[in-house]
């Protein structure tokens, strides 16, 4: 699932490409991808001729603030990613008219297309069809539980605020880092990488962490997320940039999906263990 760096990278790219463009029309072959309003026909009617005024992020959600007091929310979920280009139908399949990365098969699972007023198209490719698209009144979205229940953005809070997020919490640190109600945007990939760099075992109970260790996690979180944004995210699975290419952070992953390999610090074999239905990758020697 795209995490904070992937979502932020997508937004930074789309601000250049689609900000101030107007939606001309919309197509889908899977109407259930639109969760709000309940009718795709109503969604299509409401969003046509709306201009994109602003694009911002709330946790892992991409929000297009539109003219007419509306906002389009896109949560890419497990395998979804937004891509920008020009496509044409060939034998019932959308084929990119732009040669290069957009022709990669991972970009071919197109289930939603927005036509823009400059002749370009914004598409949602989603192999598993888990992505969520919603159209809200902007004011209601900002006041919604969807947004209010999100924890603070880890890149926008101080050390004291970060520590306060975990105050009186119970559980293992990896699980808590991925809890979107505590801090928003961190998932499986970056929790593994953050804890490795901070030398903290993912199964450590939060109540047993010292103030210095939580400070280390805070500083490491900022460094890892900023580095990942600079390298345009991690494309170990389905995530791609709007132009169709891969992010570069996967080239410097230290533990995520490195099980069986030697730790880059001490040479111990990296382990992979299940934690609350998710995988934790870590060095059993370096991380204590």
Q: Looking at the annotation, which residues are catalytic?
A: 2-3, 60, 278
Residue 74 parent element (H or E): strand 70-75
Neighbouring CB atoms inside 10 A of 288's CB total 10
Which residues fall within 8 angstroms of residue 7, CB to CB, at 6 or more apart? 57, 60, 61, 62, 76, 185
Buried b (16+ CB within 10 A) or exposed e, 259-286: eeeebeeeeeebbeeebeeeebbbbeeb
Burial 115-132 (b: 16+ CB within 10 A, else e): bbeeeebbbbbbbebebb
């Amino acid at each position: 699932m795209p995490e904070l760096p992937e979502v932020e990278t997508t937004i930074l790219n789309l601000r250049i490409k689609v900000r101030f463009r107007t939606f001309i029309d919309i197509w889908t072959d899977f109407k259930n991808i639109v969760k709000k309003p309940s009718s795709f026909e109503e969604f299509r009617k409401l969003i046509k001729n709306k201009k994109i005024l602003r694009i911002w992020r709330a946790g892992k959600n991409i929000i297009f603030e539109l003219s007419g007091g509306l906002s389009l929310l896109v949560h890419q979920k497990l395998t979804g990613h937004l891509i920008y280009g020009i496509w044409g139908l060939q034998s019932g399949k959308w084929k990119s008219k732009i040669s290069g990365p957009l022709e990669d098969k991972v970009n071919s699972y197109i289930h939603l297309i927005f036509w823009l007023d400059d002749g370009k198209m914004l598409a949602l490719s989603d192999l598993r069809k888990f992505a969520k698209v919603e159209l809200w009144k902007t004011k209601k979205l900002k006041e919604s539980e969807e947004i209010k229940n999100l924890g603070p953005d880890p890149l926008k809070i101080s050390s004291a605020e970060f520590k306060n997020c975990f105050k009186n919490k119970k559980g293992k640190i990896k699980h808590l880092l991925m809890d979107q109600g505590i801090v928003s945007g961190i998932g499986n990939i970056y929790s593994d990488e953050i804890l490795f760099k901070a030398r903290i075992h993912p199964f450590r109970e939060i109540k047993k962490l010292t103030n210095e260790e939580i400070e280390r996690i805070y500083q490491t979180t900022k460094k890892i997320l900023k580095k990942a944004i600079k390298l345009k995210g991690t494309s170990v699975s389905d995530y791609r940039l709007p132009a169709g290419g891969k992010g570069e952070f996967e080239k410097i992953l230290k533990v995520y999906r490195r099980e069986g390999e030697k730790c880059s610090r001490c040479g111990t074999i990296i382990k992979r263990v299940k934690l609350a239905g998710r995988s934790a990758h870590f060095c059993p020697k370096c991380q204590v």
